Amino acid sequence: MKIITDYLVIGSGLAGLSFALQAAETGTVTVLTKYTLEENNTSHAQGGIAAVLSSPDSFAKHIKDTNIAGAGLCNQEVVTKVVQYAPNVIQNLLNWGTRFDTEKDGAYNLAKEGGHSEHRILHHKDNTGYEIQRALCNKVRSHKNITVLEHFFAVDLITQHHQGELVKRHQQDVSCFGAYALDIASNKVYTILAKTTMLATGGAGQVYSTTTNPTIATGDGFAMVHRAKGVLDNMEFVQFHPTALYNPSDSPAFLISEALRGFGGILRNKKGEELMKHYDVRGNLAPRDIVARAIDNEMKTSGSDFVFLDCTHIDKKKLQNHFPNIYKKCSSIGIDISKDMIPVTPAAHYFCGGVKVDAFGRTSIKHLYAAGEVSCTGLHGANRLASNSLLEAIAFADFAISVAKHEKETNPIQSNIPDWDYEGTSFPEEMILITQSLKEVQQILSNYVGIVRSQERLKRAFNRLWTLYSETEDLYKKTTLSPKLCELRNLILVGYLVIKSAKARKKSIGLHYMVDYSE
C-alpha cells in the first residue's frame, strides 16, 4: 500500500509540527507519529524557551552563555544564527496561539536557569512544552493540506538500497524517497513516498533505566539514519538532568525543572549542607553537566540514592503559582515543597548529538532533513544550555523549509519502490524476550555509559550489548514486525553509537566525563 505526499514529517513535536505548518503553505504534508499527535518530548518540556527580548540582555551574552555551556565545541556560525533568530521564533509561536506568562504590565515574566547570565527564559507556568504543543496541534489538525497518521511507526527510511542498487558507504550517494511505516492497528506496512522528508523523531532517553523522557523516546530516527548510511555526530554527549524526582515507582522519572533552582531552590547533600558551593562558583546555577556530576559524586560518596532540593525558604503561594505541576506531583507522594525538601537524582534527559545537519537542517542524505533533538546542529556542543532546545527545534524547522520548499518542483516522486517484504516472518511466540532484553539494554547503558565513564566500562558495555544485538537481529529476521521489537532494535543501535563515540573521544569534556582522562 502506497501513500504519496510532497512532504513527509516523521515525528509530532515542535520541530516536526512547525515544519509541517510552513510546508503546508507550499504543498501536501503527511505527519507520521507512532502514538498520538500530542504525545512527544515537546509536551513534557517544563522549563521554557530562551530568547533575548530586552535589556540588559543581549545576543552577545546569550551567545557567550551557549558557548561556555558547550565547552568550546559549539559551531559559532550556528550559535550566532540561532540566537539572533530567536525573536522570530517567539513571534511564530505567538502567531500560532502559544501563551507565555507575563507580568501585570504585560511584559514577559522571564526566568533564569543554569548557565544563563540573564533572565531570558519565556515560559508558561512549569508546563511550557505542553502549552506549545497544544497550540501547534490545534493548527495542524485544522489545516487542509496536512494529513496526520497517528499510531504509525516509521520502520526505515527508503533509499536506493530499496531499489536494489549497490550504494557505497559514501553518504553523498544516498537519497531519501520517504519511509516504510507500520500501521499499528492493522499491522500492515505502508510505503510512504515523498519529495522531501523531515526527520523530527526526538531523542532516546529510554536507552537508560532512569530517564525523564516518555516511553516513546527510543532513538528511532538515530537508528534509521545509521541503517541508511547517514552521518551521526557527537553521540557521546548525553545530558543527564540533575534533578529528577526520586520516586522509584515512577517511569519515566518526573522532572523537577531547572527553573526551580533559578527561582531560588538550593541543592543540599544528605547532611543538609549546601552542595554546589564545593563544586562551582556559579553554585546552584552552574551548567547541567557540572551539577549532574556533583550530585553523582555526592551520592556515591554518601551511599545515598538521592540529594535534596530545598525550596522551603520560598513563599508557598509563589511556588504554587509558578510551579503548579511540580507542587501537585510532590504533594501526591506526601511532599509539601514549601515545608519539605525534594529528593532528587540525575536522569537521562537529552541527546546533544545526533543526525549531523548543516546550517539549513540538511542531512548527509539527499532530500532528508532533520530538526529537534534527533539532529546535531552544532548549537549545543558538548553540553546543551538550558532552554536552548525548544529554540533550536523551531529555528531549524524554519531554516529547513526555506530551502526544502524549492525541492518540490525539482525532485520527482520515485515510482519504482517495492512494497515491504513480509516473506519468512511469523508472529513471535515469546514477547517476554523483548521486554527482558530492553531491561538489559537499559541496565548496560546506565551501569557503564552514564555520567562517569571509563574505557574499561565502555568495553564491557560493548561486549554485553553485542550479544543482545545478535539475538535481536535474529529475532527481527524471522518474526512479524511490532513496535516493541523495532524499538528494542533501535535502542540497541543507539547504545552502540553512544559507546562507539565515547570510546573515540579520548578526553573529558562537557557531558563526556572519562576517569581515564579526568585531569
Among residues 288, 362, 384, 489, the one annotated as catalytic is 288
Pairwise CA distance, residues 406 & 392, whole Å: 22
Query: Is 505 marked active-site?
Result: no
Cβ partners under 8 Å of residue 386, min gap 6: 47, 50, 113, 114, 115, 116, 121, 258, 287, 288
Tell me if 213 sits within 8 A of 349, measured CB to CB: yes
Query: What are the cell numbers at 160?
Result: 536506493
**In three state form, how does the secondary structure of 217-246 look?**
CCCHHHHHHHHCCCCEECCCCEEEEEEEEC
Burial 79-112 (b: 16+ CB within 10 A, else e): bbbbbebbeebbebbeebebebbeeeeeebbbbb
Pairwise CA distance, residues 419 & 192, whole Å: 10
Pairwise CA distance, residues 269 & 32, whole Å: 45
Tell me if 337 sits within 8 A of 311, measured CB to CB: yes
Query: What are the cell numbers at 516?
Result: 581515564
Tell me if 302 sits within 8 A of 269, measured CB to CB: yes
Bridge partner list, 245? 344
**Annotated active-site positions, please?**
288
